[in-house]
A and B are shown apart, each in its own frame.
Chain A
């Protein structure tokens, strides 16, 4: 009896030990599998574009990895220089009414389908047709009338109207070349989740809200990627993303909140890469209502704020004060445009002239999830207080800020606005900010400004366009339609073990030449 009990006990013990041993084996096996994954580059970004089809979204969160899956006829590198992509050359015919592209030979899509003139025609027919209408990309390409196949490796673009930015636009987003046969086989919905392009990486799997796994494409026309794969993780919460990069859980992180700059600089495992980006932050003024109707008030607000100090303190210097709603890399930037100097004395005087009583209350609207807007707003409030304006901060739920507050013209005297056109062309920003009837412009109706904006769209002459856009910036400055605050640097946190990383000013990273030393 006793013996039996004892043996029973040992049987239990053996089972228990076996469990422990197998558990240990499993535990040691886990690092081994992650060792096998050492050749995967781990990237994190804040948002999931929800859809991988190039024509269905218009977000930086798609652009950040899109160039690794797809190619356009034109390539734009990290120095925003244009070079041949899937087209080897192009020429403008009939004064720019027709553009002829010679296509690269021997290029294959990820599914083995050949790249040729039919694919180009299919891509743009889709973009400009019914399917494109449902998405946000089409509007950027309506200057293209039609695409004609000349032979298997030559196409002609017939332009419906002049578009001086068209070559740049062909290097990204909606102009990415997609495969006609694959699309016919799987249909547009399957393509949203598992698209096929000609890029250096192919889509292995996509789990919405979690991650996107890319695999090296060995038949890429322009060399081979150094890493076997890339995992793009979507981590919405900024502090979680920052904790991951600092602890080494990921190799590269995009969407660095300016509020984390200090912590990243102090971390020994991470390097902060910064490059002048397209994004500008401005506080727009309401010239149609309230006291900001008076141009003197708008100028006074501009003079009351010390932008240099804000950039130094809140951005730790990772930004540049601006004089119009564009950064120095933007086409249309005018370095000679003077800025409203920081001069509280003059601001007070202007307000007095305009008959504004000290202590008058004005409001600033912003998106509640934008920490930087709250911080800048708080600082601006104290600058304005010094000249006798009482600024009230009004955060709004992010999802309604554009649709309910801006589009419908429900803002107060000031409202925060951030924008960065990936084309680095002031036309992109200016048209949307100032042209009558644009969704993002609920207030400004100015015929002179409309004429300036339209004129520069009619010419391919670079210098004329530059002058036109500079005139727009100058006019907006004179009218003080906004407080241009700063051009914020594109920031990336990169593990020190990562090699070959090049910071892209437009968030469009290329992982081909990036490798990881573990």
Chain B
């Protein structure tokens, strides 16, 4: 009795922590996203105003540069807020796109098996064998540089990871008793896939996705450095990190603050992801 009681209490505690996680995650991502969204109204110059006299000004020395200035005397706070536009969009859209494409393909291949599975997985192998930078240079040589093309490029190169992950989970899930039971009930395949298999395969997917968001934010900057992205003057978090790298020893603020911005975003997404997983996880839901 007492044992059962403490178990329930633990679940309640965990659930309230989840609630907190959700609110905190939403607030982090929401604030950063909102700021990025309205940044053109706040800073019409896009954080591009150069002021060589303020070069590498440390934080808290001037109200104009609260988080300091970068090597060209541009305000770091402004650039972080504006940079969210590029980084947030690229990071999240590309990860969402790749997750959707990869999950659909993985579910389909894993559930139906057979020829389609073999074909799709060979496609995946080919995709994995292509070096990313080579693919990037080719695609951008054909279609020209641009943010939308970078997002498409990331989706094209990352769906495989999700597809393989999902397919692996599906392969084991489809043999489980509850799936067998659903099938013997005569449930339509689409219902089995989306209602019974997908929610159970979601955990690792969300973790992989939050990792990839951070990766893609950095990837965008390396593409921009290769001349494949947008104008290098346009602020982005990854770009700020890369530009500040040479100054890391003498001016920490140039890299630390954009790094924090990336960290906050990923943290927020992780929290939201955790909450999402718990609420979609059939086991977690039935327990309370």
Q: Is B205 an interface residue (CB 8 A)?
A: no
Q: Is B209 an interface residue (CB 8 A)?
A: no
With a CB–CB cut-off of 8 A, which chain B residues contact A396?
Answer: 227
Question: Do the beta carbons of B72 and A395 come within 8 Å of each other?
Answer: no
Q: Is B231 an interface residue (CB 8 A)?
A: yes
In-complex Cβ contact of A239 among B72, B227, B232, B248 (8 A): B248
Q: Mark B214-258, 1 if CB is under 8 A from A, else 0.
A: 000000000011110001110000000001011111110000000
In-complex Cβ contact of B227 among A263, A314, A394 (8 A): A394
Question: Do the beta carbons of A378 and B50 come within 8 Å of each other?
Answer: yes
Q: Is B15 an interface residue (CB 8 A)?
A: no
* Closest A residue, CB atoms, query B145: A394
Question: Do the beta carbons of B226 and A397 come within 8 Å of each other?
Answer: yes
Q: Mark A207-250, 1 if CB is under 8 A from B, else 0.
A: 00000000000000000000000000000001100110010000
Question: Do the beta carbons of B227 and A262 come within 8 Å of each other?
Answer: no
Question: Do the beta carbons of B249 and A397 come within 8 Å of each other?
Answer: no
Kindly name the residue among A260, A314, A382, A394 whose own CB sees the greatest number of chain B CB atoms within 10 A. A382
Question: Do the beta carbons of A259 and B231 come within 8 Å of each other?
Answer: no
Q: A262-B56, A313-B55 are in contact. Are A395 and B246 (CB under 8 A)?
A: no
Question: Do the beta carbons of B247 and A259 come within 8 Å of each other?
Answer: yes
* Closest A residue, CB atoms, query B234: A393
Question: Do the beta carbons of A263 and B50 come within 8 Å of each other?
Answer: no
Question: Do the beta carbons of A259 and B71 come within 8 Å of each other?
Answer: yes
Question: Do the beta carbons of B233 and A393 come within 8 Å of each other?
Answer: yes
Question: Do the beta carbons of A393 and B246 come within 8 Å of each other?
Answer: no
Please give the distance in Å from B139's CB to the nearest CB on chain A.
14
With a CB–CB cut-off of 8 A, which chain B residues contact A239?
Answer: 245-246, 248
Question: Do the beta carbons of B247 and A262 come within 8 Å of each other?
Answer: yes
Please give the distance in Å from B73's CB to the nearest CB on chain A.
8
With a CB–CB cut-off of 8 A, which chain B residues contact A194?
Answer: none
Please give the distance in Å from A4's CB to the nearest CB on chain B.
45
Question: Do the beta carbons of A262 and B48 come within 8 Å of each other?
Answer: no
With a CB–CB cut-off of 8 A, which chain B residues contact A242?
Answer: 246, 249
Q: Once bound together, how far apart are the Cα atoms of A263 and B247, in whole Å?
A: 7
In-complex Cβ contact of B50 among A379, A394, A395 (8 A): A379
* Closest A residue, CB atoms, query B133: A397
Q: Is A343 an interface residue (CB 8 A)?
A: no
With a CB–CB cut-off of 8 A, which chain A residues contact B73?
Answer: 313
Please give the distance in Å from B158's CB to the nearest CB on chain A.
23
With a CB–CB cut-off of 8 A, which chain B residues contact A267?
Answer: 249
In-complex Cβ contact of A260 among B52, B227, B243, B246 (8 A): B246
With a CB–CB cut-off of 8 A, which chain A residues contact B52?
Answer: 309-310, 312-314, 379
Bin the interface of chain B by size.
20 to 34
Please give the distance in Å from A383's CB to the nearest CB on chain B.
8
Q: A379-B52, A397-B226 are in contact. Are A257 and B246 (CB under 8 A)?
A: yes
Q: Is B137 an interface residue (CB 8 A)?
A: yes
Q: Mark A382-397, 1 if CB is under 8 A from B, else 0.
A: 1000000000111111
Q: Once bound together, how far apart are the Cα atoms of A313 and B57, in whole Å?
A: 12
Question: Do the beta carbons of B246 and A371 come within 8 Å of each other?
Answer: yes
Q: Is B190 an interface residue (CB 8 A)?
A: no
Q: Is A299 an interface residue (CB 8 A)?
A: no
Q: Mark A451-480, 1 if CB is under 8 A from B, else 0.
A: 000000000000000000000000000000
Please give the distance in Å from A314's CB to the nearest CB on chain B.
8
With a CB–CB cut-off of 8 A, which chain B residues contact A351?
Answer: none
Q: A266-B250, A368-B226, A368-B227 are in contact. Are A375 and B71 (CB under 8 A)?
A: yes
Q: Once bound together, how far apart are the Cα atoms of A267 and B247, in whole Å?
A: 13
Please give the distance in Å from A230's CB to the nearest CB on chain B.
27
* Closest B residue, CB atoms, query A392: B231
Please give the distance in Å from A400's CB to the nearest CB on chain B.
10
* Closest B residue, CB atoms, query A266: B250
With a CB–CB cut-off of 8 A, which chain A residues contact B249?
Answer: 242-243, 246, 260, 263, 266-267
In-complex Cβ contact of B250 among A262, A314, A375, A382 (8 A): A262
Q: Is A100 an interface residue (CB 8 A)?
A: no
With a CB–CB cut-off of 8 A, which chain A residues contact B225?
Answer: 368, 395
With a CB–CB cut-off of 8 A, which chain B residues contact A266?
Answer: 249-250
Question: Do the beta carbons of A395 and B247 come within 8 Å of each other?
Answer: no
Q: Once bound together, how far apart are the Cα atoms of A158 and B56, in whole Å?
A: 58
Please give the distance in Å from B226's CB to the nearest CB on chain A.
6
Q: Is B49 an interface residue (CB 8 A)?
A: yes
Please give the distance in Å from B78's CB to the nearest CB on chain A.
15
Question: Do the beta carbons of A238 and B246 come within 8 Å of each other?
Answer: yes
Please give the distance in Å from A232's CB to the nearest CB on chain B.
23
With a CB–CB cut-off of 8 A, which chain A residues contact B248?
Answer: 239, 263
Q: Once bound together, how far apart are the Cα atoms of A266 and B56, in whole Å?
A: 14
With a CB–CB cut-off of 8 A, which chain B residues contact A246?
Answer: 249
Question: Do the beta carbons of A263 and B250 come within 8 Å of each other?
Answer: yes
Please give the distance in Å from B141's CB to the nearest CB on chain A.
10
Q: Once bound together, how far apart are the Cα atoms of A368 and B137, in whole Å?
A: 14
Question: Do the beta carbons of A262 and B245 come within 8 Å of each other?
Answer: no
Q: A368-B225, A375-B71 are in contact. Are A382 and B48 (CB under 8 A)?
A: yes
Q: Mark B124-158, 1 if CB is under 8 A from A, else 0.
A: 00000000000001000000000000000000000
Please give the distance in Å from B79's CB to the nearest CB on chain A.
12
Q: Once bound together, how far apart are the Cα atoms of A392 and B224, in whole Å?
A: 13
With a CB–CB cut-off of 8 A, which chain B residues contact A382?
Answer: 48-50
Q: Once bound together, how far apart are the Cα atoms of A379 and B48, in whole Å?
A: 10
Please give the distance in Å from B44's CB to the nearest CB on chain A.
13
Q: A262-B247, A263-B249, A266-B250 are in contact. Are A395 and B232 (CB under 8 A)?
A: yes
Kindly name the residue among A239, A262, A392 whose own CB sees the greatest number of chain B CB atoms within 10 A. A262
Segment 22-50 of B: residues with Cβ below 8 Å from A? 48-50
Task: List A residues at the B interface (Cβ < 8 Å).
Answer: 238-239, 242-243, 246, 257, 259-260, 262-263, 266-267, 309-310, 312-314, 368, 371, 374-375, 378-379, 381-382, 392-397
| A–B pairs, 23, beta carbons within 8 Å | A239-B246, A242-B246, A242-B249, A243-B249, A257-B246, A259-B71, A259-B247, A263-B248, A266-B249, A266-B250, A309-B52, A310-B52, A313-B55, A313-B73, A314-B71, A368-B226, A374-B243, A375-B71, A378-B72, A393-B233, A395-B226, A395-B227, A397-B227
Task: List B residues at the A interface (Cβ < 8 Å).
Answer: 48-50, 52-53, 55-56, 71-73, 137, 224-227, 231-233, 243, 245-251
12 additional contacts (CB under 8 A) given A257-B246, A379-B50, A382-B48: A238-B246, A239-B246, A242-B249, A259-B246, A259-B247, A262-B251, A263-B247, A374-B232, A375-B72, A393-B232, A395-B224, A396-B227
Q: Which 10 A-B pairs have the closest CB atoms?
A: A259-B246, A395-B227, A263-B249, A263-B250, A313-B52, A262-B250, A382-B50, A368-B227, A396-B227, A393-B232
